[in-house]
Structure 1
Amino acid sequence: MTTTGKTTWKIDPTHSEIEFKVKHMMISTVTGSFGEFDAHVESADDTFKDAKFSFSAKIDSINTKNSDRDKHLKSDDFFNAEKHPNLSFKSKSFDGETMVGDLTIRDITKEVSLKVDFNGVAVDPYGQTKAGFEAEGTLNRKDFNLSWNAVTEAGSIVVSDKVRLIANLQFIKQ
């Protein structure tokens, strides 16, 4: 679909993933993902320079391969999925390598910067034009009121404040 000289691209969820990584007790890394998400892009051309990206993920779809931990992450100690069912991102700028935008978690919006690898555009065997991106950035979870923490008897912090976001995204030209 093209509107006012812009092309719309929709997420291909079967070829995309949204993950986060956080240190546990400062000695290992736990990976989580969101199983339900939506995203789209509006671009003037296939270079995607200055394209507008938007993304949302359903908090209830969080998966860290541990149901007790997932339940805790959905609680008010972290995301409060009942009151804030989604997180969202809207880009403000994209120069082909760096994307700056507003990330909203709970009811807090902060500007974040993501390093982006644009992997190009290709036509699949079914004639669909697709574009691929890999994005990564770091945020402080406490900036978004995800402030629960505990300390072990030995004095180790259970959950790091620093969270890495990793998105591998494929979009389909509409």
Structure 2
Amino acid sequence: MANVKWAVDPTHSEVQFKVKHLMITTVTGYFNNFNVTAESEDEQFGGARNIVFTADVNSISTNNEQRDTHLKSPDFFDADQHDEIHFVGSKYEQVGDDRFKLHGDLTIRDTTKAVTVNVEFGGIVVDPYGQTKAGFTVEGKISRKEFGLTWNAVTEAGSVVVSDEIKLQAEIQLVKQA
């Protein structure tokens, strides 16, 4: 069995999250610094394993400096104490032609929970520079409160300011390592 190693191509990848604000609009945020590594049995990403994702909490961006500072504070991610979000995949399960479920453990702050995300495999291609690349669209949902991100406020009318459900979305391009 071959062992093909893969690493993220950060210039062709993005990691974002979406959260309801005041329950009427959605705010999108990004992690600008992140890493993904994986291994597979072959160049077609068969037998994928050892899938690891990390994100630098201090690289969070919602296009609002005041909000970003609040998200890094102890009210949310507590970046001074927990500067990294960590995911370790435990099972990459095929559920359709190009559809997979990636099961694993997500750690935010000091809390680790089992999560499952949906993965659409975009395929394998060799770029103009001779690099073998694999593309993926990843989507999932988590409860922020399950990870200790419990801060909230209530409006005068009784609406919550920030929803519990966080939608995760990522476009990931991996490069086969020499």
SS state at 2:124 partner: strand
Q: Which residue of 2 aligns with 1:138?
A: 141
Q: Which residue of 2 aligns with 1:100?
A: 103
Count of residues paired in the alignment = 171
Q: Which residue of 1 aligns with 2:68?
A: 70
Does residue 41 of structure 1 match 2:44?
Answer: no
Q: Which residue of 2 aligns with 1:122?
A: 125
What's the TM-score, normalizing by structure 1? 0.96
Provide the C-alpha distance between the structure 2 equivalents of 1:50 and 1:155, rounded to a whole number of angstroms.
49
Give the Å deviation of 1:85. 0.5
Provide the C-alpha distance between the structure 2 equivalents of 1:39 and 1:117, rounded to a whole number of angstroms.
16
Give the Å deviation of 1:167. 1.0
Provide the C-alpha distance between the structure 2 equivalents of 1:107 and 1:123, rounded to a whole number of angstroms.
40
SS state at 2:159 partner: coil
SS state at 1:26 partner: coil
Give the Å deviation of 1:51. 1.2
Aligned to 1:155, which of 145, 158, 162?
Answer: 158
Aligned to 1:171, which of 164, 174, 178?
Answer: 174
Does residue 31 of structure 1 match 2:28?
Answer: yes
Give the Å deviation of 1:49. 4.1
Identity %: 53
**Where does structure 1 lack aligned partners over 5 or more consecutive residues?**
none
Q: RMSD across aligned C-alpha pairs, in angstroms?
A: 1.0
Q: What does the per-residue CA deviation read over 1:81-115, in whole Å, with 9 as the maximum and x for residues that have no partner?
A: 00000001110001231110100000110011101
Q: What does the per-residue CA deviation read over 1:123-174, in whole Å, with 9 as the maximum and x for residues that have no partner?
A: 0000000000001000000000000000000111000000001111000001
Provide the C-alpha distance between the structure 2 equivalents of 1:139 and 1:49, rounded to a whole number of angstroms.
27
Q: Which residue of 1 aligns with 2:113?
A: 110
Provide the C-alpha distance between the structure 1 equivalents of 2:29 and 2:47, rounded to a whole number of angstroms.
30
Give the Å deviation of 1:5. 2.5
